[in-house]
Amino acid sequence: MRIRVYGAGAIGRGFLPWIFRDAEFEFVDPNVPLRRASYTTYMTSNGYRPLSVKVHGADKPDVIFCCVGTRNCLSLADEFRNPAVPVYVCENDSRVVPVLREMTGNDNIWFAIPDVITSNTAPETLLSVDPLAVVTEEGCLYMPFGSKILPGGNYLSPEMMHNQWIAKLYLHNTPHCIAAYHGYLKGYTFMSDCMQDDKIKSEVLGVLDECIGMVTHRYGLNKKFAEFYAEKEIKRFSNVFLHDPISRVAREPLRKLGEGERLAGAARLCIQCNIIPQHIIRGIKACQKYDNPTDPDHGKSTARNEFVAIDEPLWWLMDEPWGEE
């Protein structure tokens, strides 16, 4: 099987080769030099287990994966017009698939959910051997029934795909980025550093409690499933072997502050469910303080009138984030 991957970042380069180990990979990414070469992706397991990936040309791919980030995937519409080749969009926004289908006239474009945390880098000891090395945990790739069956995918009904997406959006994405913003304000570098801070961990647990209440009330997710998912996320965030940079998780804060997104969107939904999202709101405030000079959004205004957030009376909860102490 020949796979073309747009985007040689964390998911494309680090995770997909573990799912499709017998495939030939071609990567299309102007920022990562992967042209007919090889590199190593490592899986965490009380240490690191290597997988050497050989990179091939794939002039006629059997399947395409899009892993370029939500802001960039629509610019690739012209590459996805051939209905004979299935396209799987591994982006953190399910709304891009119907947009791409309309833009291309191609109904063979599908949403896929990588249930995994993959770093976009690796420890220095591994990078010294291979500068393109990345680290991932073991995970699952959820794909919808009706799409082409690929060995390695976990195929779910529309209802189960929806449940997995809601869980990832609000029980993974929301607490994950909030941990990153609080950790940045405290001067930490990696996500596992954040989770070793009792105050940040307590805040993340508070975010998860608010989101569990919201997803069970608003979307009807089974509470035991939601609690299991949340417990799994705490363990993932704390994995020191992932070497996952805060800068990766916190990047593009303006997008995360958008209406319907993981921060303001989660807060709004909590309010609609009569849940006061005080932990999420503190996360929003921390996000507004994120000023990493290497971030694509650096220098852009994150003033509260620049995004749709929550009802005015609740802004009293948004005290200064304690992470700056």
Q: How far is CA 100 from CA 1, 81, 158, in A?
A: 24, 9, 19
Tokens of 272: 């609609």
Question: Which 3 state secondary structure label does DSSP give 21?
Answer: coil
Whether 184 has a pLDDT exceeding 60, the answer reads yes
Contacts of 163 (CB under 8 A, 6+ apart): 219, 221, 225
Residue 36: its pLDDT value, please? 65
Tokens 């289908």, residue located: 101
Cα–Cα distance measured from residue 278 to residue 301, given in angstroms and rounded to the nearest whole number? 23
Position 302 pLDDT exceeds 70? no
Tell me, what's the pLDDT at 314? Answer: 46
- pTM for the full model? 0.89
What pLDDT score was predicted for residue 78?
A: 95
How large is the angle between the packed helices 174-185 and 198-218, nearest 10 degrees? 160
Q: Is 252 left (phi over 0), alpha (psi -120 to 50) or beta?
A: left
Q: Which long-range CB contacts under 8 A does 203-209 form with residues at least 24 apart?
A: 203/178, 203/179, 203/279, 203/282, 203/283, 204/175, 204/178, 204/179, 204/234, 204/237, 205/234, 206/278, 206/279, 207/174, 207/175, 207/178, 207/279, 207/280, 207/283, 208/171, 208/175, 208/233, 208/234, 209/279
For residue range 191-227, what is the model confidence (pLDDT) as tens digits?
A: 999 999 999 999 999 999 999 999 999 999 999 999 9
Q: What is the pLDDT of residues 70-105, one digit of tens each?
A: 888 999 999 999 999 999 999 989 999 999 999 999
**Percent with pLDDT over 70 in the chain:** 91
DSSP string, 100-127: HHHHHT-S-EEE-EEES-B-SS--HHHH
Judge whether 169 and 262 are in contact, CB under 8 Å.
yes
pLDDT in tens, 148-167: 999 888 999 999 999 999 99
Q: Are the C-beta atoms of residues 130 and 39 closer than 8 Å to each other?
A: yes
pLDDT in tens, 230-252: 999 999 999 999 999 999 999 99
User: Average pLDDT for residues 9-38, to the nearest whole number?
Assistant: 89
Yes or no: say if 64 and 4 are a contact pair by the CB < 8 Å rule.
yes
Mean pLDDT (the chain, rounded): 90
Q: Is the pLDDT of residue 306 over 50?
A: no
Domain segments of the chain as ranges = 2-155, 160-324
Mean pLDDT, to the nearest integer, of 121-129? 96
Helix (H) or strand (E) holding 237: helix 223-237
Question: 30 or 202: which carries more pLDDT confidence?
Answer: 202
Instruction: Kindly indicate whether the domain formed by 160-324 is annotated with CATH number 1.10.1040.10.
Output: yes
Task: Quickly state the pLDDT bin for 311 (edges 50, 70, 90).
Answer: very low
Q: Stretch 165-188: mean pLDDT, rounded?
A: 97
For residue 323, pLDDT over 50 is answered with no
The answer to which of 52-66, 146-160, 268-282, 309-323 has the lowest mean pLDDT is 309-323
CA dist 319 → 60, 281, 283, 323 (Å): 55, 9, 11, 11
Q: 116 or 312: which carries more pLDDT confidence?
A: 116
pLDDT (tens digit, 9 = 90+) per residue, 253-265?
Answer: 988 888 778 999 9
CATH match for 2-155 among 3.40.50.720, 1.20.58.340, 3.20.20.70, 3.20.20.80: 3.40.50.720
DSSP 140-193: EEEEEBTBPP-TT-EEE-HHHHHHHHHHIIIIIIHHHHHHHHHHHHTT--BHHH
